[in-house]
């Protein structure tokens, strides 16, 4: 069942009228996942502060919501609204994207030019 969920650092989340995806919590005392915030429910700064205060650093999304989450991260990094994303949220989003790219098994990094010149 855990393969059906993807961990999401709460540092990538911002308070919003709606996170546009269900956010789940994984309780330590039981198996499975519990809905923390429904996709159409407001996510408040107090919610994020409460999670951090309890030592919770990640929530989970369903694997089918991966594209929605990536779009959410793009919006955090390049907001089109009046309110700017916080530096913390932007940093968290960037860290998530970099980690996601590095963990993708099909990702291959090929340098454009050699990093070192061959010795003569």
Q: What is the pLDDT of residues 17-64, one digit of tens each?
A: 778 899 999 988 888 899 999 999 999 999 999 999 999 989 999 999
Contact 13, 48 (CB under 8 A): yes
Residue ranges of the alpha helices (H) in the chain?
45-53, 66-77, 87-103
Q: Is the overall model pTM greater than 0.75, yes or no? A: no
- Measured on CA atoms in the order 41, 44, 46, 47, is the torsion positive or negative? positive
Look up residue 51 and give its two tokens.
Answer: 């999670």
Helix orientation angle between 66-77 and 87-103, rounded to the nearest 10 degrees: 140
At residue 81, the pLDDT reads 55
**What is the domain partition of the chain in residue ranges?**
2-103
Cα angle, residue 59 at apex, residues 107 and 20 outer, rounded to 5°: 85
């Amino acid at each position: 069942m855990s393969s059906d969920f993807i961990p999401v650092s709460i540092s990538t989340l911002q308070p919003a009228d709606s996170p546009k995806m269900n956010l789940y919590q994984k309780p330590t005392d039981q198996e499975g996942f519990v809905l923390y915030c429904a996709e159409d429910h407001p996510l408040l700064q107090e919610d994020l502060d409460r999670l951090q205060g309890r030592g919770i650093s990640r929530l989970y999304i369903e694997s089918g919501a991966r594209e929605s989450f990536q779009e959410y991260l793009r919006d955090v990094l390049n907001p089109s609204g009046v309110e700017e994303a916080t530096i913390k949220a932007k940093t968290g989003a960037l860290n998530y994207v970099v980690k996601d790219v590095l963990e993708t098994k099909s990702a291959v990094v090929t340098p454009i030019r050699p990093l070192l010149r061959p010795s003569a």
